[in-house]
A and B are shown apart, each in its own frame.
Chain A
Amino acid sequence: MTVHTEALGHEHGHGHGIMTQEEYIEQRDTRFLGFLLFLFTDSIFFTAYIFAALYLRSAAPVWPPVGVERPDVNLGAVNAILLFGSGITAHYAMHRLKESRIAGYIWFTIATIILGSLFLGGQAYEYAHIHATWSGSSFGAAFFTLTGLHGFHVFVGVIYLIVTLLQSLGGTYTPERHFGLTAATLYWHFVDVIWVVLFFLFYIY
């Protein structure tokens, strides 16, 4: 007697009814691999534009080009702290769920969503006040394309977290079965890591 067909959660795929825990784990591993490959291919998207930014930089005599100002490093740092803080809260939310402490999970997820939204607000503020334009210079081209792409990813991440929060309030996720949450958290960490690179690329290096 190793597993029982009485499933606890409602997370299921491919139109099945209730799965055994063993079937669930097999399917979860498959989806996890698929999701990792998605994040990998997404990272190539960023890598290509980061390469482009470095290439444009190598072609310019000075960087940023004459007449273009670097974005304010303090604002970038505040944004970085907001985003990294949201990574920590996302991590703890996941742990609380695994420990069946649902209230803790909910509050940490709400904190993650708020921090992520604040990051987007900070980026909007930066776009409104920076002395560079998208079409004005190669620096602007690289900066707005990459931070815009990243901001779009953060935006999607916030939506993704809100959806998973609503789903868990509806009882979709359990301490045993929560692949959708794992994927959302992983995605959020991925977006965090990209920001580390972009922060160095545009604000410091």
Chain B
Amino acid sequence: MSTDTIEILRRTEAPIHPAPESFVRKYIFSIDHKVIGVQYFIVSGLMILLSGLFAEAIRVQLTAPHNTFLTPQQFDEAFTFHGTLMVWFGAIPMVTGAFGNFVMPLQIGARDVAFPWLNMFSFWTFPPAVLILLSSLAFGAPNSGWTEYPPVSLQAGVGIVFWTTAVFTVGIGATLTALNFLTTVIKMRAPGMTFTRMPLFVWASAVTAVLSLVATTALASALGSLFLSHVFNVPFYDPSRGGTVVLFQHMFWFYSHPAVYILIIPVFGIVSEIIPTFARKPIFGYKLIAFSTVSIALLSFMVWAHHMFTSGLGPWVTLPFMILSMLIAVPTGIKIFSWTATLFGSNLRLTTAMLFVLGFLSTFTIGGITGIMLASVPVDWHEHATYFLVAHIHYVLFGGTLMGVIGGVYYWWPKVTGRLMSESLGKWHFWLTFIFFNATFLPMHFVGLLGMPRRVAYYDPAFQGLNLFISISAFLLAGSFLLLFVNAFWSLKKGAAAGPNPWGARTLEWMIPSPPPYYNFKETPEVYATPYGYGEPLPYSAPYNSVSTTPTY
């Protein structure tokens, strides 16, 4: 058999694993990246909802200055669970496990990720980790905030053991997913797809995987040391035996600063896919967007101590961290300007997905600007322990990550389910979410600047008016999400058939039926250019170059 014959054989037959028959192998212990992506979507979506419920409990407590809805102890548990669930069990698995798993292999023209069995294992570290974390509610929940700084976290009882074990377990899955994704992007791309022809979401997934490989393991050692300190009384953090508590902050933030980029870089990728599709234009500055992602990733490892300006590090440590932190605004600004330039002069189609991306652009920019304010040491000294910081993180993680994720849900929903969602319901959802998001978090800047401390169950009655307004907005914000669920169920029952390419997009996942067949691509496509050349013929080999790119929604 000649090499050519083998090449043709590889393209036309031989799936890398046979289609499963039984229900269990199909939907539970599946090794298909698409099913695993949906599994991640469901579990992390539930975690985001649960985390949101804890947030609403916090807001109920803060409707009155000395409310008795929660005890201070329960209040501490509520914000600890809110942060922990949202970061490790909601947002990170959502942007990597769900979106990365479903979309990335399709976009590179692959039949699956590099290690499908490992992928299944990665997912199955996740539900046990959730159970471990939630079971701590029965034994004494962790209550020192999602950062769990010692010595407070070490004095708080057995909750810390559950917390470290749960986050460690979910971290194993995250690391293996990163390893899998990076190998997939490097080795499994369709022929002709050079690095500078990859869709921008693939760039984002690959860079996120690098961040995760370095940082999540560093977090594992920080968690390990906290676990050992509690269980075996190892004195990492006990000054009377030579330890130092600031060490934990270094180890924790060496992970957790890159982690905020693990949370946002895939969303940059989602946004970079949605904007050219609905602007009907090639994306402005493809290489600039791709390379600025890489430089953000590099910088993110050199800025961790900006979370520790109030820990007494001294000016020779804080000054370089301040400058480097502010420097991140440059590559981020390059992206914002490139997206805006793509929108400029375009025939913009305001679908729900596009509206959420426009919402993302405005709120994330505000979050970025307050980020530069907080990166300034003198400002941070005043605002670090106040609601100003809470407002900043929510403008970045809700206004940034979650807005982009919801945009991505509306964008890829037809590909995953084969059915369209209701655009009119979706637009109601967007406007209600956008208005109540700003009504919730914008006033937090003001109460923060006025001096209201975060993470405290009671507050000065002078802040009551604004807090009541924030709480009511927060309840309405939560309510606006009902429209998303109604829309999802309506779409599954009655939504119109989507067809392969309802938005008229040009990346590879839209060149195959919706939902994609088990092996994704019957023949591996060949790629001749970047996908964003709107107005040009599709850059793929037959039969993938004959799909219509006229929007049909």
Interface, chain A (partner B; CB < 8 A)? 1-5, 14-15, 20, 22-23, 29-31, 33-34, 37-38, 40-42, 44-45, 47-49, 51-52, 55-56, 59-60, 65, 134-141, 144-145
Contact = CB atoms under 8 A, between A and B. Distances in A.
B220 A45 contact: yes
Given A20-B6, A22-B3, A48-B251, A59 B242 contact: yes
Interface in B48-67: none
Interface in B165-192: 175, 178-180, 182-183, 186-188
A43 B389 CA distance: 34
16 contacts: A2-B2, A3-B1, A14-B116, A30-B183, A33-B183, A33-B187, A34-B115, A38-B179, A41-B178, A41-B213, A44-B214, A52-B221, A59-B242, A135-B233, A137-B241, A138-B236
A34 B179 contact: yes
Contacts of A4: 1
B177 to A, nearest CB: 12
Nearest to B116: A14
A133 to B, nearest CB: 10
B225 interface: yes
B183 A139 contact: no
A70 to B, nearest CB: 15
A56 B236 contact: yes
Given A14-B17, A22-B3, A40-B213, A30 B187 contact: yes
Nearest to B248: A52
B1 A5 contact: yes
B443 interface: no
Given A138-B235, A138-B242, A141-B243, 19 more contacts: A2-B3, A4-B1, A14-B17, A15-B18, A23-B6, A33-B187, A34-B180, A40-B213, A51-B250, A55-B247, A55-B250, A56-B236, A56-B247, A59-B242, A135-B241, A136-B235, A138-B243, A141-B242, A145-B225
B243 A42 contact: no
Nearest to A148: B228
The list of the 8 closest CB pairs from A to B, nearest first, reads A138-B242, A48-B221, A44-B217, A135-B233, A34-B183, A30-B187, A48-B218, A37-B179
B242 A65 contact: yes
A47 to B, nearest CB: 8
Contact of A139 (B178, B217, B242, B250): B242
B254 A135 contact: no
Interface of B: 1-3, 6, 10, 16-18, 114-116, 118, 175, 178-180, 182-183, 186-188, 213-214, 216-218, 220-222, 224-225, 228, 232-236, 241-244, 247, 250-251, 254
Contacts of B233: 135
Contacts of A47: 218
B226 to A, nearest CB: 12
Contacts of B118: 34
B234 A134 contact: yes
A56 B17 CA distance: 50
B6 to A, nearest CB: 6
Contact of A37 (B17, B182, B221): B182
A31 B18 CA distance: 20
A1 B1 CA distance: 6
Taking each of A45, A139, A141, A144, which has the highest tally of chain B beta carbons within 10 Å of its own beta carbon? A141
Given A14-B116, A33-B183, A48-B254, A59 B234 contact: no
Contacts of A52: 221, 225, 236, 247, 251
B114 A30 contact: yes
B244 A137 contact: no
A141 B175 contact: no
A141 B244 CA distance: 12
A59 B243 CA distance: 8
A175 B228 CA distance: 44
A72 B369 CA distance: 55
A33 B184 CA distance: 10
A133 B227 CA distance: 17
Given A45-B217, A45-B220, A48-B222, A56 B243 contact: yes
A54 B234 CA distance: 16
Nearest to B17: A14
Nearest to B31: A14
A112 B178 CA distance: 32
Given A34-B180, A48-B222, A135-B234, A3 B244 contact: no
A41 B16 contact: no
Nearest to B209: A37
Given A42-B217, A48-B222, A138-B241, A22 B6 contact: yes
A25 B69 CA distance: 64
Contacts of B188: 30
Contacts of A37: 179, 182-183, 213
B218 A59 contact: no
Nearest to A33: B183
A110 B233 CA distance: 39
Contacts of A2: 2-3
Taking each of A2, A44, A49, which has the highest tally of chain B beta carbons within 10 Å of its own beta carbon? A44
Contacts of B235: 135-138, 140-141
Contact of A137 (B10, B218, B242, B247): B242
B242 A60 contact: yes
A22 to B, nearest CB: 6
A29 B188 CA distance: 11
B243 A49 contact: no
A163 B542 CA distance: 47
A31 B220 CA distance: 24
Contacts of B10: 23
Given A41-B213, A41-B214, A33 B220 contact: no
A201 to B, nearest CB: 15
Contacts of A135: 232-235, 241
A29 to B, nearest CB: 7
Taking each of A47, A52, A55, which has the highest tally of chain B beta carbons within 10 Å of its own beta carbon? A52
Nearest to A57: B242
B190 to A, nearest CB: 14
B402 to A, nearest CB: 28
A52 B242 CA distance: 12
A137 B242 CA distance: 6
Contacts of B220: 45
